[in-house]
Amino acid sequence: MAIRGIPIRAGRDIANPPAFDGRAWAALAACLLAVFMQMLDLTIVNTALPVLARDLSATGSVQLLVVTVYGVAFACTLLTASRLGDRFGRRRLFLIGMTIFTAASLGCGISRGPIELVAGRVAQGVGGAAVSAQTIAIVAAVFPVRRRPLVFGVYGAVAGLAGLSGPLLGGLIVALNPGGLGWRSIFLLNLPLGLIALALAARYLDIGRADRPGRVDALGAVLSTVGVGAVLYPLSTGRDSGWPPSAVGLLVAGVVVLAGFGWRQRWVTVRGGTPLISAEVFRDRGFGVGSVLLLVFYGLFAALLFTVSMTAQTGMGWSAWQTARLLLPFALGALLAALTSPILMVRLGSRALTAGIGLFALGVAQMALTVHPASGGVDARALSEPVLLAGAGMGWFAAPLPAVMVAGLGEGPTGSASGLAPTVQQLGSALGAAVLGSVFFARIAVGSGVDGAKSLLAQHLSDRGLPLGDRTETVRRFGDCAHAAFASPSHVLPVHGCAGGGLDATVASAATAQTFLQACVTVLWIVAALAGVLTVLTVALPRRPGVRS
């Protein structure tokens, strides 16, 4: 194996790679472009969905598929792609995956119907997984331990910035409508980036397969793909479909299949084969504890973004651009902290993660204290400070976490970890959005803002001179209608039809904003509390991971 001009022997201890020159950073640049596109495409579609659906005449169920199938296909393929990289070479899998992803992006951009677009999104997910499953192993192969905190800091900053900028960039592209292409531009944007990544990887990345890669466990690959898909799909779509029995049954079946996958991995290991997941990775304290941190944190992060976005856009009627501006301090804080995380790691070791997740918990708690549901609105300027703190906490925690997780692993286990870590991250995101999303909508169903809106309605009716009996009956009807609306699957109070007359817009807006804000505050406190638990858990990480140099 070699980076151009830098010989790298297959099968060596990746904790001690040889010296490298600037060409190694060019190889890293290919990985960074790839991760930027992969993370961007997880969220960029959301803001363009209304325009896209209208243009392609996509039904509600198809719209949901456009958003969800990418992440599901991505997560399902990661473990198998990682093992294929071991067997056939990480450079080869990276180039194949990047080619599939770029070609699929073109297919999405020229789609003439919703089914073509969904198929393109599936192909994007498969190609993205083939690339993503190699990146941790690639970084570990070409950078020595002492450089990894810096490299993973940059890697984490790029990934975090891409995920956060997706809604902002999607809204901006749709608004600008470059070349008259509209929503298609969000996919065609990947073409020049993908070609650059392919050129860099082809020129500078030459990391082969392991010395003794072993055969791919085909049955294990099928079980992992089916199990992850059966768990992720209902988690991604169950809430919007009202959790029908079929979704619950599929989720239970997925858990059973994953249990069978775990048994299969143990059986393959006992018989001297090569499992998709090496048990050795979980014997390492850094990776074992780090996996729990990764799972829970990205669940909290996904729930936080979902809750804030829903509250701003649905609850308060903000545009995607306004919502993105609210989250801009978070993105800036995460970017700056991720880039400075190597300095903190040098001084504090893994306690840098303790400081980061603690700051995240503090920032989210301060957000909860800053939001006052009774006011029916938020002060974006007052929120900017805690949002910035939460973003900085994420940067100091999430950016160095991959380096801490793989610091104590050898070459074989790191190859397994390269696919396992992003799979855990995707599962955590789906679980967090599903569980805390259910809490969020359960709080909305209570209709906590209805009483305030009823008082507002009663005052308006009194000012108009409506008799007391009619006023009382109108307010009662409004309350019954509003509670039923919030408890419905749409969770949205109709602007017209509850109270009658010209007062509905004001009253409905007050009831909706207060209800969504109260639900948001509830989720914020849960996120802050669980982040506090993670703060304690980080103490179990090795204080100085990767002592080898």
Q: 445, 491 in Cβ contact below 8 A?
A: yes
pLDDT of the residue at 515: 86
Q: 361, 531 in Cβ contact below 8 A?
A: yes
- Tell me the DSSP string of 451-475: HHHHHHHHHHHHHTT--HHHHHHHH
Ordered per-residue pLDDT tens for the chain, 549 residues: 333 333 333 444 444 444 456 778 888 899 999 988 988 888 788 777 777 878 888 776 777 788 888 888 988 888 888 888 888 888 899 999 999 999 999 999 999 888 899 999 999 999 999 998 888 778 777 777 777 777 877 887 787 777 777 777 877 787 788 888 888 999 999 999 999 999 999 988 876 555 555 677 889 889 989 998 898 888 877 776 777 888 899 999 999 999 999 899 888 888 877 788 777 777 788 888 999 999 999 999 988 988 888 888 888 888 767 877 888 899 889 888 888 888 888 888 889 999 999 999 999 999 999 998 888 788 889 999 999 999 999 989 988 888 788 777 766 666 667 778 888 888 888 888 888 888 888 888 887 777 777 777 777 777 777 777 777 777 787 777 777 777 776 677 665 556 555 555 677 777 788 888 999 999 999 999 999 999 999 999 887 765 443
Task: Give the 3-state secondary structure of residue 543.
Answer: coil
- Tell me the DSSP string of 1-66: -EETTEE--TTS-TTS-----HHHHHHHHHHHHHHHHHHHHHHHHHHHHHHHHHHHT--HHHHHHH
pLDDT of the residue at 50: 72
Measured CA to CA, the distance from residue 372 to residue 367 in angstroms comes to 10
211 DSSP 8-state letter = S
Q: 17, 142 in Cβ contact below 8 A?
A: yes
pLDDT of the residue at 212: 57
pLDDT of the residue at 12: 41
State pTM to two decimals. 0.82
Phi-psi region of 470 (alpha: psi -120 to 50; beta: other; left: phi over 0): alpha
DSSP element (H, E) containing 379? none
Give me the residue label for tokens 């409905």.
Answer: 508
